[in-house]
Amino acid sequence: MSDSRTPVSAPTPVTPADETPAIGPHRRGVQFRQTHPLALAPVTPPPNTVDGFVKEFLHELNTDLGVALSRSSINDQYTALAHTVRNYLTARWLETGRKQREGYPKSVAYLSAEYLLGRQLGNNLLAANLSDIAEKALHSCGLSLATLRAQEVEPGLGNGGLGRLAACFIDSLATMNVPCIGYGIRYEYGIFRQTFVDGEQVEQPDSWLALGNPWEIAHPESAVQVNFGGSTETYDDNGVERTRWVPAWNVLGVPYNYMVPGYLNGRVNTLRLWSAQATQAFDLNIFNAGDYAQAVRAQTFAENISKVLYPEDSTPQGKELRLQQQYFFVACSLRDFIDGQGRDFDLRDLPERVIFQLNDTHPVIAVPELMRILLDERGLDWDEAWAVTSKCFAYTCHTLLPEALEVWSVELLGRLLPRHLEIIYRINDEFLDLVRETWPDDYLRLGRMSIIAEYPDRGVRMAFLATVAGIKVNGVAALHSQLLRDKVLNDFAELWPEKFTNVTNGVTPRRFMKLANPHLSDLITDAIGSGWVTDLERLQELAPLADDPDFRAAFTEAKHANKILLRDHLRVRDEIELPTDQMLDVMVKRLHEYKRQTLKLLHIVSTYEQIASGKVKAADITPRTFVFGAKAAPGYRMAKQIIHLINAVGSVVNSDPLVEGRLKIFFPANYNVTLAERLIPAADLSEQISLAGMEASGTGNMKFALNGALTIGTDDGANVEIRELVGDDNFFLFGMDEPKVADLGAKGYHPGEYYESNPQLKATLDLIASGHFSGGDPMTFEPVVSNLVHHDRFMALADFGSYVEAQHRVDALYADPDAWTRSAILNVARCGFFSSDRSMKDYIKRIWGTNPVL
């Protein structure tokens, strides 16, 4: 892995022709001898004392920001604090890089289009053991650490579970002393900022960089040139016919480094994100001629590549921009890693230095890119290049939905990356030769397994390419991996059964317990000691305490304290007055029909309808506060209509005196990691209700269980493993399992039959259809109702009866506080398996073959 300060080979526009990029004290090829003791000594952090911290903080405030404490703004203070913490980490970061270069151990290069990091200040203080010192130091300066922490803007670098998982994984690898560099894109505007106007989602730009980002370090001198378009040509290389790419245009990728500290171990790994810039950003002649917009056109065009996370791809231009993004960041990343190995390194040995982990299909274009580098730039023959490439990649699949497996049109790939398409064609030709050899007369199989799809349009199946090239293919939960082998990639699993494995996801206990839930964390530490933070299986020691009345009382008190913190947070953030004396029933995740927020809403409306119609007395209903958090993709019309319906139901229910004190519904806008850190510790009930066989894993389900919420869920994704670990008595199971879902789909699913046969369900849908939640207008939510009654792809109506019955079991258990708390403690005690540290150990053992560096 290259050091954070080690430049890679930069293109001409960055480095003047008469200068060579140099490492260390060089100038024009002349090396100067270091004589000063400080130049020879290791980099040292500031003193680990309150006075040392104050001195460093004031130095940053005064000299870096140029402001006195008495005249500083809150943003000045936050920036100086962030730089101070960064300075403490820098010495460890540089030392990590030095050790890396000494032995060049095998590294993990994690390629991910998303990193949903969350706020960095609290996590970095925790990892460096500086929280108490920083709080005392700032207090002595008349400042509040809590106030400055609230100033931080969350990096908008991810959309949901995929990015949150990537952030957990790089945290765990640093904590476990495993060499790792994360690679991704520095999006100028992250996932949109969600607001509600009349209950409907409105997307606003997420200007997370508006005030700068003190955690990143830019290295424009280490920029990488990335080419696009053009054509290919063959030429003679001493009797060997070779191919080269003649691109039509290019951009620069500028690296921004982020430190990824391990927890209390001194290791600091690197997250390197790439920002796109033009190679010729400004044309002075055009500017002087008066065409100011044209003068910066190249800059605007180039910067679009890293402008927005997941640009809307319903247009041809949007699709092209997405492919540009994906190739841009993997081309930068591969070049960066390879150049960091030194000029004399033999790339035939690259599999001994790195494993590139493909986090879903977004980075799979890295496969032909590595082949191109080996073939066209380093002169390896095809067999040599493929022998290297086929040992350097591993692929994690995160979906079971066919539409989520990327397929790029041959026309677009050929126009944007012509050399890569040629390489993909040859990979496919040789792969199909193997298929023919294995199954000589099975012509239909050839079509099913071809990397190139022929129908409805010619396209490159990126999941197939990753499977052919990867040393391993893994799913992210036991059920998901089984379905991946049996259904999604079954032909490939039949050809290479040894290539398929499972690594169940996990979450970092540092952020999602220690940092997010100090009340529970302190209780756990008092009970079993502090070692559980890096050895989460030790939570099993809490199991006997589930029967201890004093521990149960303390656990209940911690949960209540978290509800108060959440109430205070939402009061300021959203002007929401959250009850703290009711069951907190939470469903937070991306808004997608398969996740079935509609099923949760049908339960709420059903409960409300039964009270409003007099079938049930309000006094007989368990008081509940329902909280939703979800964003819908801007082009996903049905998802946005569901959000509108949730907000409309909430508006009516919350203002109806008939259910006052019994039902409340809240949907705080712009759900993110920061809100999750407040909401998850406060939750009583975790809604994990996707249709069985649809959710790959989920990680929210793990976070809720580890923080003492009980789960109501289907046997889907990692729910299966949660239920097996915590026991049926401590999990509210409902609904069809995956085989029954498949069987019902095969027989023909008719949701209208469930609507007609279940009076409670019919009354619920009829109330929505009547316009009760839309000011009497029955057409407002007609698309949602019609979709459920006539289509219901994800079988919410089929599972409704079972779901309502399970909710009755929830009410019964909640009516016995001791029994509920006992189950909640057992959820915490038995879910240590879901640490991302364990996930990393599984990746190391089953896929990567890397080792910690001590």
The rounded distance, in Å, linking the Cα atoms of 435 and 492 is 10
11 pLDDT higher than 90: no
pLDDT band at 851 (very low <50, low <70, confident <90, very high): confident
Give the mean model confidence (pLDDT) for residues 215-232.
Answer: 96
Active-site residue identified among 398, 461, 510, 723: 398
- Residue 687 CB: number of other CB atoms within 10 A? 29
pLDDT value at 298 more than 80? no
Report pLDDT for 24. 67
Pairwise CA distance, residues 80 & 98, whole Å: 27
In the residue annotation, 343 being an active-site residue is answered as no
pLDDT tens for each residue of 248-260 = 999 999 999 999 9
The H or E element that residue 10 is part of is: none
DSSP state of 485: I
* Torsion, CA 366, CA 372, CA 374, CA 380, rounded to 10: 140
When comparing pLDDT for 342 and 207, which is higher?
207
Mapped onto helix, strand or coil, the DSSP state of residue 583 is strand
Q: Which of 353, 472, 595, 723 is catalytic?
A: 595
472 is catalytic: no
Note if 699 is an active site residue: yes
Model confidence over 114-145: pLDDT tens digits? 999 999 999 999 999 999 999 999 999 999 99
Start-to-end Cα distance in the chain: 16
**What separation in angstroms does the CA of 141 have from each of 56, 121, 128, 135, 801?**
12, 18, 21, 10, 60
With a cut of 80, say whether residue 261 has pLDDT above it: yes
Span 426-481, pLDDT tens digits: 999 999 999 999 999 999 999 999 999 998 899 999 999 999 999 999 999 999 99
Of 193, 472, 514, 589, which one is the catalytic site residue? 589
Q: What is the pTM (predicted TM-score) of this model?
A: 0.94
Helix axes 759-769, 796-814, angle to 10 degrees: 110
pLDDT band at 185 (very low <50, low <70, confident <90, very high): very high
Q: Judge whether 590 counts as a catalytic residue.
A: yes
Which residue in 703, 772, 830, 838 is the catalytic one?
703
Tens digit of each residue's pLDDT (9 = 90 or more) over 669-706: 999 999 999 999 999 999 999 999 999 999 999 999 99
The single-letter code of the amino acid at 727 is: G
Q: How far apart are CA 84 and CA 214, in angstroms?
A: 10
Specify the pairing of strand 583-588 against strand 624-629: parallel
Residues 224/335, Cβ–Cβ less than 8 Å: yes
Q: Of 590, 592, 600, 830, which is the active-site residue?
A: 590
Residues 6+ apart with CB under 8 A from 129: 264
Q: Verify whether residue 501 is a known catalytic residue.
A: no
Distance CA 429, CA 583 (A): 59
The per-residue pLDDT for 295 is 67
pLDDT of amino acid 205: 93
Residue 294 in this model has a pLDDT that exceeds 90: no
* DSSP-derived 3-state class of residue 544: helix
Conformation bin of residue 437: beta by default, left when phi > 0, alpha when psi is -120 to 50: alpha
Any catalytic annotation for residue 319? no
Active-site hit among 508, 580, 699, 714: 699
- Residue 153 DSSP label: P
Q: In this predicted structure, what is the pLDDT of residue 102?
A: 85
- How far apart CA 769 and CA 789 sit, in angstroms, is 11
Q: What are phi and psi of 225, to 5 degrees?
A: -85, 135
